[in-house]
Amino acid sequence: MAEELIVAQGSKEEKYKALIPQIEGIVKYERDKVAVMANISAALMETFRFLWVGFYSVDGDRLVLGPFQGPLACTRIAYGKGVCGTAWAESRTLVVPDVDAFPGHIACSSSSRSEIVVPFFQDGAVAGVLDIDSESLATFDDTDALWLGKAMEIFGASLSSGMGKDSERNGVVVYCASSSEVPEKYLEAARETGRLIAEAGYTLVTGGGYRGLMASTIDGALEAGGKVSGVLPHFMIERGWAHTGLTTCLDTPSMHVRKQTMADLSVAAVALPGGIGTLDELCEIMAWRQLKLFSGKVVLVNIDGFFDPLVDMFGKICREGFMRGGELPVKIVSTPQEAIEYIKGDRP
Ligand code: SME
């Protein structure tokens, strides 16, 4: 996302109009729920300078305090209690012009005079609320309800599509050529890799292109009934380079964010034959593995000796002392079958 928030001058509506695309950016490029809630709170606070902006998340029969900006707040609110608990129970936005007139209002700060609470939903159920307090009476109206509702729709949609479900992360990222002008044996190996990844129950994570080994890997996974997450920088999507069968297509602002996103979604990385882009991805994930920035397995599939010169180079790196510990952060195998067996290795 942009490092700096752009705050529009003018009416409340103009401010929200400028804010919403920035909230989309916050949500799109980060998969950690707490990080997203923290930055949405900060963006709202910086734009409007409210008394208190923050989140409560559903935890059993209570709401528990999440990321916020402002004075200390109560940490737990029971279902149906206060404005927050009522918005949860009624699954709707509540605009409270005068908190003293709201039966059961919970006063976290004595300075709070009016409030708005907007629920957000994950998979159809309330997953929490966005709560905003103001020091003035009647600060909030239908305009706030509308725009904050849009913001929570964006956040909720992302939650429903898997944000924050790290335990369910089960991608295997495949790096390979986007060129189709290569011998058929490589395209076949790519298709087999996609099929084996899907059959093993992993989601194929890929650069998402419609050509080359990338497309063959995607086709193989889809033919086997698997899921495919394609991760493409925005400019490639605009040029129409995305494979049309992707289960999910993630749009990133840059190649760097693309590589980070693919790694974040994955428990293992596989490199198949490819060109400079593939080598870049392979070397980067090996470096991340070595630095413990990526904990998954990294496998190089040396189809028909394609990578022999690189394997020799790796050997030289080790022999001449350039590899700390002498051990390469990559497993070299000859077939897609061996690659998937190695990845599945210690899976329960
Ligand atoms: N006023 C809220 C409690 C939360 S604080 O405002 C941060 C309520 O009545 O639910």
Within a 10 A sphere around the Cβ of 142, how many other Cβ atoms? 10
Handedness of CA 31, 37, 38, 40 (dihedral sign): positive
For a substitution probing ligand 1, which of 133, 135, 139 has the most ligand atoms within 8 Å of its CB? Answer: 133
Q: What is the mean pLDDT of residues 274-294?
A: 95
For 22-56, the pLDDT digits (tens) are 999 888 777 789 999 999 999 999 999 999 999 99
Q: Where are the beta strands (DSSP E) in the chain?
A: 52-59, 62-69, 76-78, 94-96, 114-122, 125-134, 171-175, 203-206, 228-233, 248-252, 266-271, 297-301, 331-333
Q: Does residue 1 have a pLDDT over 50?
A: no
Q: What is the pLDDT of residue 163?
A: 65
Is 169-344 the same fold as 12-160? no
Whether 326 shows a pLDDT value over 60: the answer reads: yes
pLDDT reported for residue 347: 59
pLDDT tens-digit series, residues 232-243 = 999 999 999 999
Domain 169-344 sits in CATH at 3.40.50.450
Greater model confidence, 323 or 169: 323
What is the distance between the alpha carbons of residues 215 and 218, in angstroms, rounded to a whole number? 5
Per-residue confidence (pLDDT) for residue 166, from 0 to 100: 53
Is the model's pLDDT at 90 over the cut of 90?
A: yes
**Residues found in the chain:** 348
Q: Does the structure show a pLDDT above 80 at 2?
A: no
Is 227 strand, coil or helix? coil
Q: Are 81 and 94 in contact (CB under 8 A)?
A: no
Q: Taking CB atoms and a 6 Å cutoff, what residues make up the pocket around ligand 1?
A: 52, 73-74, 77, 82-85, 105-106, 108, 112, 115, 131, 133
Q: Where are the domains of the chain?
A: 12-160, 169-344
- Taking CA atoms only, the protein residue closest to ligand 1 atom 7 is 73
- Whether 68 contacts 53, CB under 8 Å: yes
Superfamily of domain 12-160 in CATH is GAF domain (3.30.450.40)
To which residue do tokens 């049309």 refer?
244
Mean pLDDT for 291-304 is: 95
For residue 94, the model assigns a pLDDT of: 98
